[in-house]
Structure formats: C-alpha cells, structure tokens
Structure 1
Amino acid sequence: MRVRSFRIESIRDNPPERYNGESVGELMTSSKSEQAISDLLHNLQIDVTSAHRTQCTSNWRDIDYSPDYNKFYFILDGEGWIRVDDQQIRPRPGQLCFMPAYTNQGYSAISDKPFLKYWCHFTTRAGAFDLFQWIGVPYCIDIQDKERMSRLFEQLVEPQGNSALVTLIRQKAVMLEILATFLEHVPVRILQHRSEEINRLNIIHDYVDKHLHLSVSVDELAALLHLHPNYFIAYFKKRFGISPHKYVNRKRMEKAKTLLMTTALSIKEVAALTGFADTNHFTKFFRKETGFSPTEFRGIYAS
C-alpha cells in the first residue's frame, strides 16, 4: 500500500478551514445555532466502548482506516503523529487530541520513544447522527490543568461503583466531563452540509416559541418546511431524535418551569401562556413530566 505524504502542522498556529474532514459553516456564536444544538443535546446518548492507559511500542502504526466511533488521546509522554483526513499532527505531551468518527485516519510512532497516552473510544448520538457529524472542532488542544485531566482519564479507565449500574453511570459522567472540558476550549462550527437541517430546526423552534400559548399542530409545522405532514413527522423524528409532538411538549415544559421559577404569575396564567386552556390538565401534565405539581415545583426552585 502506498503511503500518502501529509504536511505536519500545528492546529493552534494554523487553524484549519475544515473541521471533522468537512467544510464548516458559521461559527457557533449565534443564539440560534446554540439553541439548535441545545435541542439536539436533549437526546444525546453517550457510550464509552474502550478506555485505557497505554505505552505504545515502536511499531504502533496504522495508516488508513475509518472507525465508526470517536477517539480522544491524552498524550502523557513521547512522540508520534496522528492524521485525520488530510491533516497530520504531531501532538505534544499535555495535549488532548480528538479524532472524529467516520473520518479517514492514521497514526504512527516516529522514534524509539513512542507515546504514553490515555485513550478512549466513544460515541455521542444526537438525533440521527453522531454529535460530531453536526459540528466541527479542532483536533488538538493544550490542556492547562494536566493533573485534573489525568485524574478524569484514570476514573474513565477504572470507574468505581458498588454495582455494574453505578459503575456505568459514573463512567458516562466522567466521559461527559472530559467532553465538556474539550468543547469549552475550542471554537465550534456547524458543518456546512448540516446547516440546512439546523436552519430547519431553527425555523421550527422560532415558530413554536412564538406560539406556545396556542395549539400548535403538526400540519402547521410541516407547512413551515413545505413538507407533507406524514413525511414531516418521519423526517423530524429521524433527524432530531424526537417526534414533533414531544418536541412541542418539551418546549411547553421548559417555558412553564421558567415562568414558575422567575415570575409571580398564577398557575392559571402560566398554564394559559404555555398552551393549556384547562389548569387541571396543565397540573396533571406538569406532574407527569416533573414529579411535582406546579405549586410544589415553584416552592422548591423559585428564586
């Protein structure tokens, strides 16, 4: 097999125009983009398939493969290179490297001092796709608090719990913390080929947000996107991981919680502003979703 030649560059010094192997759209600084991704994260499913601390050998090498999972490498020592599509990088000790699923990848040791690293394989399902099929991020960052990151990976590799259930939950929690630490230190962009779907979700969000006090029908939402209602239901659930009906109800609940926590409006007024003509129906719906009546919820959480 012929080995391709790649230019080695620093992501920090020369930011790419392509993330996750794709052209990128807008930087995710607008409230609409953030809202769309937040909607998707409501249904985020994260799974860790492997996590280890490994001293690589001098024959650590694979130059052409495309995994169906994401990877993090936290480099502790040594040297080598990794490649994501046409970007080759030489990570340094103290850097956290990300390699997204469904990209062409490679890696290799380059001396008699190969990497000592923590690593993990994981998936982050958000709707119909992995989270990183929606967003693009740089592949390598410096970690300021290296001791904390090492502790997180230690907990990921050997999660503690008095049962398999507790151990699994703690492992997912640690994975989420590592992921959050990474994302809060990198620019995040919507991948260009997903921007149309994000725009569609924004259209639905804006309409629902402005009409929560009314009865919002599937026919109305489908018409916004010029789709047949039956097709719209299937499309929405497949792409965004939730039915339109459940999406509207979730938005009603979010607004009801906000009003109960931040205003002195009566329960009847809150019900009316979130699309419930009958206060009893609102109370039953609220209790089913939260485990509390609106009055109990306000008493616990109101500022």
Structure 2
Amino acid sequence: MESINQVVCEKRSYSREFHSHQHEFGQFLFPLQGSLDIQTKWQEIKLNSDSCFYLPPRLVHNYRSVDRNEFLILDIPTHYLPKDTSSTYMQLDKQWAAIRYLLLEETKNRENLSSIVDLTRYVTNKLQISNPPSIDYIHKHFKESIRLETLAKIEHYHPVYYSAWFKNKTGKSPKAYISELRLKEAKLLLLSTGFSMSEISQELGFGNSSSFTRWFVSYEGISPQKYRNLNNG
C-alpha cells in the first residue's frame, strides 16, 4: 500500500485499462481535461471538468480514463486529514474552482512547498466543515417529497449504502433528519406568522391540514394549534 510523508500536488494522466489500488493517504482529484471513471465498493463515478472528488485513505478503488485526459492530483498525508473521512463527490463551484486554480499556480513553484501546505490545510478544513451535496439538497428541498434514491444518486452511492453513510455523517437517518428540519420550520411558522393550519401544511408540502396535524402530534404530542396557543402566550 502506497504511503507518503509530505504533500504532493502534480498533474497526472490515466490509461484506458482499469487499475485497482488503495493508498495510505487522502487524495483530491481535480479534472483539467477529459474524464475519469472511478469505482469503489459502493460508488460509481464519472468525474469530469465540472466536479472534483476526494478519496480517503485505505479505500480500494478502480479507475480508468477512456479519453484524452489530465488531472490535478493532491496527495495528502494522514496527519493533515480529519479523522474518519469518507469519499466525497463535489460540484466544482466557484470556491472549488478557485482552489484548483491556486493549486495549479503553486505547482509551478517546486522550490517552496509552504504555500501548497497552507492550501492543503485549507482544503482539508473545507472538507470537514462543508455539507455533502445531498445534505445541501435536503436543506433546499426539505419541504418537498424527497426519495432516498434521489439523495443516493447525488452522492453517487448505491441506495443500500447511502443510509448508513448518512447516519455516520449526521447521527440520524435521512428520514429523521428531514423531519427535524420540517418540524423546526413548522414551529417557526406557527409562532412567527398568522398562517392558518391549511397554509402551513401547504407550505411544508403536506396534502392537507389533517395530515400535517397528525404528523405534528406524532412528534410533539400536541396539536399544532395547541402548540401555537401555548407558546404565544
């Protein structure tokens, strides 16, 4: 198994044949040209120029590229990494694109690694504090009906594994996490607006006020109207 003692940031290209390995360090992959097929036990990803990917230490993975390709690779020794990281697929938003640009610029300066190390610390901290894409999706769409398969697809996980991965990340099941967000929003609407039960149930994506009331009682033990009366003094 490969291991390293210092940060390595360089451009690499990959062949058309599948190769399989694991390593004792974390690795960020930033596509510059072409795409890369990556397979783990629970994920299948086609990594292209609008995304990036993090591979944690000791994760067996297969990889190949069927087109002309070039990738910026950041190999990170374990002492820079937070504990218990998992493979993470990310859209290349403005922040990640800026990070890729800065890493590219610093690779031109081979004599001074301090800037690369500083960027690596920034990247690993961002990895630790950033919400995975599916959790961002939940926060934007929790008022709607969300299927487990939709969330798993966002992370490129098989649905069977996604729930276990999600619980490891949040300490809750996807269903409990979504319900917690909806309940928090329901309480906010009950106490800060004059919306009727029908309006609140519609805002939260319930078919009618009766189903909203039953759902609220199952969590709080009292009806939403009674909750409003008790807490509005």
TM-score band w.r.t. shorter chain: 0.3 to 0.5
Choose between structure 1 and 2: higher strand proportion: 1
Bigger relative contact order (CA 8 A; separation at least 6): 1
**Given the two structures, how large is their TM-score scaled by the length of structure 1?**
0.38
**Given the two structures, how large is their TM-score scaled by the length of structure 2?**
0.47
